Amino acid sequence: MGRRALLRLGTIATAMTGASAVSTLQSASASAAIGDLTSPPGYVPLTEKGAPLGVATLDGKSKVPAAMLPDLSGIYGRASAAEVYAANFGTIGDGQADDTNALRVALTSAAGKTLVVTQMHRITGSLAPSTLEPTNIVFRPGAGLIVDSDVVAIMHQGSAGAAIAVTGGSAAGSTTLTVADASVFTAGGYLVLKSADMLTDPARTTYRGMLARVTEKSGNILTLDNPVYRDMPTRPEVVPVILAPRVTVDGGDFSHTKPVGPTGFRSALLYFALALHPTVRGIDAHDLGGPGVLVSHVDGGSFSGNLTDLTNDPDNGHFGYGVNVGGTTRYFRVISGTARRVRHGFTTGHGGGPSVVNSVGDPFRNHVSSDFLVTEGRDAGLDTHAQGWGNIIEPNVDCCRIGIQDRAQFTIFSGGIVSGSTLYGANISSEATGTLIDGTNFVNTPTKAGSVIRAAGTTGVLKDVYIPLPPNAVPTVSGGGQVEVRGSSFVPGYNFSRPGTFGLLGKRGMSVSANTDLKQLIVGLLGLPAGGATPLNLNGGSLTAGNVDLAESSGSLMLKSPDGTRYRITVANGGAVTAIKI
């Protein structure tokens, strides 16, 4: 056998093991005996080294680099006991043929294992992993799904039983529930607590609810792994649920070509409902007509990946939410990635699943990391609907219509940066309660924006935020709600335009340097400019201050007596106070 044939054969043999490699060697030897009887030149040409059909090079350990080994797993090799290759189930994998049925068979065989996808597949129906055993779906580089119908690409959903009346324990802080019939519950199982107490949401009737795991059962008393976090007094019920086992979607290129038109349900790309720890990582999804990822009534789990160009056409049912966390989902994490040209990069909202829990829930203590960038958003970069309780969001938002928008309860926006918002940097809506913006930087607000922060008839807290002096007359805070500023926040006082209450508590205080229109001002330290009339107009309101600090020793306060006479109040070096009639 000639040297080139041996070298090329070595590449193949290195990639194979056992009898397969031996049979290949025997076959190659027989072929060489017939057709390769001439001696090769003295050296292998440089152009053949590492080239297709050429000669493999060796690394520093005298081994053929992995990148030069042919991928024969789908043809000759056998998958490991824990792996199933989609290519072995009759898929075409050219991105045009419909591989839905073949992939469904492959997924069935992959229950409890890993399904390895090596090609680009077109599908026209949903793929549903096992609800009995955990499944991993791994997409190799260049592999993915083209969804060519108004369906969910990968749908994973557990089950729910009938609702059972709660006779005690549905008040906030309770760790136990007393139910009319506990026979269907076991320690370690899950339930959804729901009530007929409605959420304030004009878009859809939604009710209070939470997901919990039963840690102990004694008679008809169930002990929960998490206390009830809000009162649910109106017809409380529990629904026994079985969460589908964990599914991991690892990598893959995804697009959705058919969720278009004036009617019909706009399907999410990936949908997990009543599921345990679903994990999506490293996906690249683009050109989608609906949500990228929808999780509902989920315990744990995470997302990382890139979401680009999600259709935003609400009038026709296209809501381009990047990651939509709904229902009673708790402790789900958005870890990293990007959401570009979407309606919202992240939102809390309506749930899904069986009808008994479909309209129930407050997503609870979910978390968005600042490693998740939302940019060029068509609406709010990071958003909560009325559904939501105590979610933690670290903003990383650039050039969206609204940077962050809150309509839920006790949302915490922690750290991060909001830049280039064209309407509001933050919009605290009237439905929200207890919003906290803690340590967030608001920068580069365009001239045409309405304000940096808008509070619409609600109460919010700004703590240690940073709002640099804008180069234009964009109001820092607008709206009719009450906002408290605490800590060492820098909020330019010259730029307030609001009829409501503004509270400033903490060490730094508020420095007023231009006309400010307020009804009531509550401050820890108020810094007033030197000379002339104080440009602070309370419009008949009140001022409550721990300290009033004048900028210069020549400054003074002007007070009005009951008969309307105005006096200038000054103090001498010795402390003597003088009132001079003006």
Q: Per residue, what are the HEC states of 189-211? A: CEEEEEEEEECCCCCCCCEEEEE
Q: Which residues, other chains included, contact 331 with Cβ-Cβ below 8 Å and sequence gap of 6+?
A: 299, 300, 301, 364, 365, 366, 367
Residue finishing a domain among 354, 379, 414: 414
pLDDT greater at residue 319 or residue 163:
163
* 392: pLDDT strictly greater than 50: yes
Residue 105 sits at φ, ψ, to 5 deg, of: -65, -40
Mean pLDDT of 23-41: 46
pLDDT greater at residue 347 or residue 29:
347
- Does residue 76 lie in a domain region? no
Q: Is 29 helix (H, G, I), strand (E, B) or coil?
A: helix
d(CA 300, CA 296) in angstroms, rounded, equals: 11
Mean pLDDT of 453-461: 78
Mean pLDDT of 431-456: 89
Structural domain range at position 566: 556-582
Beta pairing class for 435-438 and 253-256: unpaired
- 139 and 163 housed in the same domain: no
Question: Tokens in use for 187?
Answer: 């320690």
With bands split at pLDDT 50, 70 and 90, how would you rate the model's confidence at 188? very high
* 250: pLDDT strictly greater than 70: yes
With bands split at pLDDT 50, 70 and 90, how would you rate the model's confidence at 488? low
Cα separations (Å) of 208 from 202, 233, 283?
Answer: 15, 10, 33
Which strands, in side-by-side order, build the sheet including 577-581? Answer: 557-560, 566-571, 577-581
- For CA atoms 460, 464, 466, 472, give the dihedral sign: positive
Q: Which residues, other chains included, contact 441 with Cβ-Cβ below 8 Å and sequence gap of 6+?
A: 416, 417, 418, 465, 466, 467
* 99: pLDDT strictly greater than 90: yes
**From the CA atom positions of the chain, what is the Rg in Å?**
32
Q: Which residues, other chains included, contact 445 with Cβ-Cβ below 8 Å and sequence gap of 6+?
A: 420, 421, 425, 452, 470, 474
With bands split at pLDDT 50, 70 and 90, how would you rate the model's confidence at 67? low
* 268: pLDDT strictly greater than 60: yes
* 464: pLDDT strictly greater than 70: yes
- Does residue 77 lie in a domain region? no
Beta pairing class for 510-511 and 520-528: parallel
221: nearest Cα among 189, 258, 177: 177
Mean pLDDT of 87-97: 96
- 389 and 423 housed in the same domain: no
Vertex 405 angle, CA 404 and 406, to 5°: 125
Element (H, E) at 394: none
- Contact predicate 490/467, CB 8 Å: yes
- 408 and 486 housed in the same domain: no
Q: Is 513 left (phi over 0), alpha (psi -120 to 50) or beta?
A: alpha
Q: What is the DSSP string of 102-161?
A: HHHHHHHHTTTSEEEE-SEEEESS-B---SSS-EEEEEPTT-EEEE-SSS-SEEEE-EE-
- Does residue 75 lie in a domain region? no
* 505: pLDDT strictly greater than 60: no
- Residue 228 confidence (pLDDT): 97
Mean pLDDT of 512-529: 47
Mean pLDDT of 372-382: 95
d(CA 422, CA 449) in angstroms, rounded, equals: 5
- Does residue 191 lie in a domain region? yes
Mean pLDDT of 313-328: 85
Half-sphere exposure of 363 (CA within 13 A, CB side): 37
Q: Which residue has the tokens 């804008």?
A: 470
d(CA 402, CA 521) in angstroms, rounded, equals: 27
Question: Tokens in use for 434?
Answer: 């207890």
- Residue 19 confidence (pLDDT): 43
Q: What is the mean pLDDT of the chain?
A: 81
How is the chain split among helix, strand and coil, in percent rounded to 5?
A: 10, 45, 50
- 481 and 575 housed in the same domain: no
Query: What does the pLDDT look like over 100-147, one tens digit per residue?
Result: 999 999 999 999 999 999 999 999 999 999 999 999 999 999 999 999
- 408 and 495 housed in the same domain: no
Question: Tokens in use for 110?
Answer: 């992959």
- 261 and 392 housed in the same domain: yes
Percent of the chain having pLDDT more than 90?
A: 53
- For CA atoms 555, 561, 566, 571, give the dihedral sign: negative
- 523 and 489 housed in the same domain: yes
- According to DSSP, residue 49 is labeled B
**What's the start-to-end Cα distance of the chain, in Å?**
114
With bands split at pLDDT 50, 70 and 90, how would you rate the model's confidence at 527? low
- 300 and 432 housed in the same domain: no
Question: Tokens in use for 297?
Answer: 């009534």
* 96: pLDDT strictly greater than 80: yes
- Residue 327 confidence (pLDDT): 95
Q: Which residues, other chains included, contact 499 with Cβ-Cβ below 8 Å and sequence gap of 6+?
A: 480, 517, 518, 519, 539
- 428 and 396 housed in the same domain: no
- Residue 546 confidence (pLDDT): 56
- Does residue 78 lie in a domain region? no
- Does residue 561 lie in a domain region? yes
- 306 and 359 housed in the same domain: yes
- Residue 518 confidence (pLDDT): 47
d(CA 21, CA 258) in angstroms, rounded, equals: 46
Mean pLDDT of 12-37: 45
d(CA 451, CA 428) in angstroms, rounded, equals: 12
d(CA 534, CA 216) in angstroms, rounded, equals: 65
- 395 and 430 housed in the same domain: no
- Does residue 73 lie in a domain region? no
- Residue 320 confidence (pLDDT): 86
242: exposed, middle or buried (C-beta count within 10 Å: 0-12, 13-18, 19+)? middle
pLDDT greater at residue 523 or residue 443:
443
Residue finishing a domain among 149, 181, 206: 149
Residue finishing a domain among 149, 170, 185: 149
pLDDT greater at residue 262 or residue 417:
417
Q: Is 552 helix (H, G, I), strand (E, B) or coil?
A: coil
Question: Tokens in use for 121?
Answer: 């597949």
pLDDT greater at residue 547 or residue 512:
547
With bands split at pLDDT 50, 70 and 90, how would you rate the model's confidence at 192? very high
d(CA 304, CA 332) in angstroms, rounded, equals: 12
Residue 75 sits at φ, ψ, to 5 deg, of: -115, -55
Dihedral of the alpha carbons of 75, 80, 85, 90, in degrees to the nearest 10: 60
Mean pLDDT of 364-381: 96
- 162 and 145 housed in the same domain: no
* 24: pLDDT strictly greater than 90: no
With bands split at pLDDT 50, 70 and 90, how would you rate the model's confidence at 471? low
Query: What does the pLDDT look like over 397-408, one tens digit per residue?
Result: 999 999 999 999
* 531: pLDDT strictly greater than 70: no
- Contact predicate 268/295, CB 8 Å: no
Report the domain count for the chain. Answer: 5
Residue 529 sits at φ, ψ, to 5 deg, of: -75, 160
- Does residue 400 lie in a domain region? yes
Question: Tokens in use for 83?
Answer: 């792996």
pLDDT greater at residue 199 or residue 60:
199
Question: Tokens in use for 136?
Answer: 């991993």
pLDDT greater at residue 257 or residue 90:
90
Determine how many CB atoms are found less than 10 A away from the CB of residue 444: 17
